[in-house]
Amino acid sequence: MRASLIIPLLLALSGCFKLDPFLYGPERTNKYLLDVRGPTPEETITEDRVEPVSIVVNDQVTLGAAYLKGSVQPPQAYVVFFHGKGGTLDTHFDRAKRWANLGYDVLAFDYRGWGTSTDVTPTEEGLLEDTRAVRAWMLQRIGAANENRLVYYGHSLGTATSTQLAEQQAPALLILESAFASIHDFETDSSGMDFPVDFISKCKWATVDRIRNVHVPVLLVHGLADDFVRPEFSKKIYANANDPKQLTLVDRAQHSDIPETMGADHYASLMHDFIGSYISP
């Protein structure tokens, strides 16, 4: 991560939300488009495969979400998609559609503060409440018998929220794309100065620590050209992860273009091979 990015952090004297837009970049909308069209065939599906849903969290927060049916039924596995820091569900919908076209049923959702979800300030504890409710909704939908076919897939900030949930409520598999190690690692890596972590943020998002308590197969994927969240972060998480684990570094890929840089077939093979190694058709 470049040194210039430390400036927004130094302005944040307390509270996670003051890191916006560095850590959180929520946008609001009154209605999702959930556009079934995409820039590529891999990101285009039919309307009958998309179901808008709402997920209630502790009777206080409601999350906007969508359930996408896989191109193969019954699906080989069920994927909960934890998206990155910015935009809304619509912003990340192409990525969810790609997973559905790989043959997996997908639940994609907005955290509190994002999209149509209840406009509550996001915190580390609050997002854990959200993801626990998302998992409970998913298991109710697919049935307890399919719990051993449940995959968490996180991108960017979603790698932190998915690992946080995995530490407490394990999936069958955990897939982390473009992960950062922790807020502390951002601070020390960016500035080279020994600021107390609480000076920067009261949130820790310490994936590098939490991964030690995750005892399911883990796949980490990171672009070697990612200068926003450097690949060294995924390497550090990988070093602390339990076996079985896999690290795939993608030449020329940046923070959000790994599927496109790898190519549709190569990306699909990576995901199918990893999931298929642990979840039988």
Rounded CA separation 151/174 (Å): 6
- DSSP-derived pairing of the beta strands 105-109 and 86-87: unpaired
In this predicted model, what pLDDT tens digit does every residue of 134-192 receive, in sequence order?
999 999 999 999 999 999 999 999 999 999 999 999 999 999 999 999 887 876 664 44
The answer to whether 152 touches 80, Cβ cutoff 8 Å, is yes
The matching CATH number, chosen from 3.40.50.1820, 3.40.190.10, 3.30.1660.40, 3.30.750.24, for 3-276 is: 3.40.50.1820
pLDDT at 228: 87
Residue-level pLDDT at 204: 83
Whether residue 223 contacts residue 35, with contact meaning beta carbons closer than 8 Å, is answered with: no
- pLDDT at res. 13: 37
Q: pLDDT under 70 in the chain at which residues?
A: 1-22, 187-202
Measured distance CA(249)–CA(137) in Å, rounded: 33
Instruction: Give residue-wise pLDDT tens across range 32-51.
Output: 999 999 999 999 999 999 99
Query: In the prediction, which pLDDT does 12 show?
Result: 39
Q: What is the pTM of this model?
A: 0.90
> Do 220 and 155 meet the contact criterion of CB atoms below 8 Å apart?
no
The reported pLDDT for the residue numbered 18 is 47
Q: What is the pLDDT of residue 28?
A: 96
Residue 202 has what pLDDT? 67
SS (HEC) of the chain: CCHHHHHHHHCCCCCHHHHCCCCCEECECCCCCCCCCCCCHHHCCCHHHEEEEEEEECCCEEEEEEEECCCCCCCCCEEEEECCCEECCCCCHHHHHHHHHCCCEEEEECCCCCECCCCCCCCHHHHHHHHHHHHHHHHHHHCHHHHHHEEEEEECHHHHHHHHHHHHCCCCEEEEECCCCCHHHHHHHHHCCCCCHHHHCCCCCCHHHHHHHCCCCEEEEEECCCCCCCHHHHHHHHHHCCCCEEEEEECCCCCCCHHHHHCHHHHHHHHHHHHHCCCCC
Q: Report d(CA 273, CA 279) in Å as an integer.
A: 10
Phi then psi for residue 38, to 5 deg, are -145, 170
Q: What are phi and psi of 222, to 5 degrees?
A: -150, 140
